[in-house]
Amino acid sequence: MPLVIGIPAEVAAGEKRVATVPEVVEKLIKLGFAVAVERGAGAGANCGDDAYRAAGAEVVDGAAALWSRADVVFKVRAPSLDELGLMRDGTTLVAFVWPAQNPDLLQRLAAKRATVLAMDSVPRISRAQKLDALSSMANIAGYRAVIEAAHAFGRFFTGQITAAGKVPPAKVFVIGAGVAGLAAIGTASGLGAIVRANDTRPEVADQVVSMGGEFVAVDYQEEGAGVGGYAKVMSEGFQKAQRATFAQQAKDVDIIITTALIPGKPAPRLITAEMVQSMKPGSVIVDMAAEQGGNCELTEPGRVVVKHGVTIIGYTDLPSRLAKQASTLYANNLLRLTEELCKTKDGVLDVNMDDEVIRGTTVIKDGTITWPPPAPKLSAAPPAAASPKPAKPAEKPKGHGHGGGEPPSARRTAVMFAIAAVAFWFIGASAPAAFLSHLTVFVLACFVGYMVVWNVTPALHTPLMSVTNAISSIIAIGALVQVAPPLMTGAADRPATWILGLAVVSIALTTINMFGGFAVTRRMLEMFRR
């Protein structure tokens, strides 16, 4: 019998997301699983029971029936105490668990001999990006934060000049340039606002600029990158300089969006009551860290409040406010995880603790708590500190002359130049004059092309190379020269058949190269246009 994946309705207040959607149900069934969905589980995400049935899922009445049938349970939020009472011993649970914040929940799940994979614990490594549900939800939350801010702001984001007067653009300040922050920057910039952003990691400045924002640096030098790509807790000196920067921005901007969170820790307080009081009346703060206490001192989690004339939005369900989109992306993350757990496509899960991704995601294995996972392996870990050994003075090679002989690299260079000189002399002595002129142009073209590419910013190498590929297809002219005379003159000087054939093939290939080069360049440049 195949394992049954159960999809219960979420019981958390206001939660509209569902752990899978009908489009993904079909793919889970192809992996060998049976899928059972609680009646009405997808109603909040516009996924009806009939759509689940059409995809091959069984629709079950009531949470008790669903939990009793499921061997594997896919959820969005961690199970409640009532749901834990319905869970069978030995069940595999996949959900957002937040093990650092919920130690009691871990103990209760371990008592059920469960195997638990926490989607909030997926390692932040390249191979695990397709499973990264945190990034998926943060992307949606960042977008929705700007929409909520625009709704509460009561003015255009973009500047306008009309017969009725001039409307200045809104000024938006985003604190934190992770996935959520970059999504907010891109959305606000797309709506026409002037966007500024700050992050403790200075290396994200280029990403902020690429999304249409301006990076606001703190006048204090300190490395801000922590484990797994997250920010770290900064020193008191940095925090003091940071507060001064934020206070200055609060007086000038119309909207502040805060995204600062460090996994396993309360949200840092970055916006003080004094900063809120200094903001212009009608300004808006969207505190995306409200669920963990908030980045603003005056935030009330789950509520919208007005303090000192400033609207402070503390919603804790931003992804749920785009339930259909959020459910689809989360369902795809769960599908990719299931593919990693069931590589044989036989409906059996293999929680392989030797796999770095699976090990990092698994917080309980067969009733044994395995969280926290071991530190991720570094591909290029620095060698262990050791007492430095004094370097031996380099010995001069024995030889003749003032310097005791040339080093091998210089000798090789001299030999290569000598060989090249002989080769050029031979070509100049025996080759026709026309060939020499072509060779000179070829060598100069190689040198100029190399120097041009060498002096271009590395970030532009890919669009540059796609254009140069198209331009270099001037070889098509040579092919046309071979094809054109027979077509135009009839021709007594028709080239050999094999030459004509190669010319036709060359024209076809260079046409593809030219079209593809310009098409790729156009698509890449569109990414940076507003």
Q: Which residues are catalytic?
A: 124, 129, 132, 135, 230
Residue 11: φ, ψ to 5°: -100, -10
**Buried/exposed code over 211-244 (b: 16+ C-beta within 10 A; e: otherwise):** bbbebbebebeeebeeeeebbeebeeebbebbbe
> For tokens 């963990």, what's the residue?
292
Contacts of residue 510, Cβ cutoff 8 Å, sequence gap at least 6: 473, 475, 476, 479
CA–CA separation, 251 and 280 (whole Å): 7
| Segment holding 469, helix H or strand E | helix 461-471
Q: Coil, strand, or helix at residue 499?
A: helix
Q: Give the residues across from 296 on adjacent strands.
A: 271
Residue 29: is it exposed, middle or buried by C-beta count within 10 angstroms (0-12/13-18/19+)?
Answer: middle
SS3 395: coil
371 contacts 121 by C-beta, under 8 angstroms:
yes
The candidate with the shortest Cα–Cα distance to 516, out of 526, 505, 524, is 524
Peptide bond into 372 cis (omega under 30): yes
Nearest CA-CA partner of 111 in 88, 128, 95:
88
Q: Give the β-pairing of 72-74 and 58-60.
A: unpaired
Q: Under DSSP, is residue 141 helix (H, G, I), strand (E, B) or coil? A: helix
189 and 530 Cβ atoms separated by less than 8 Å: yes
In sequence order, what DSSP letters do the residues of 6-26 get, joined into one string? EEPPP-STT----S--HHHHH
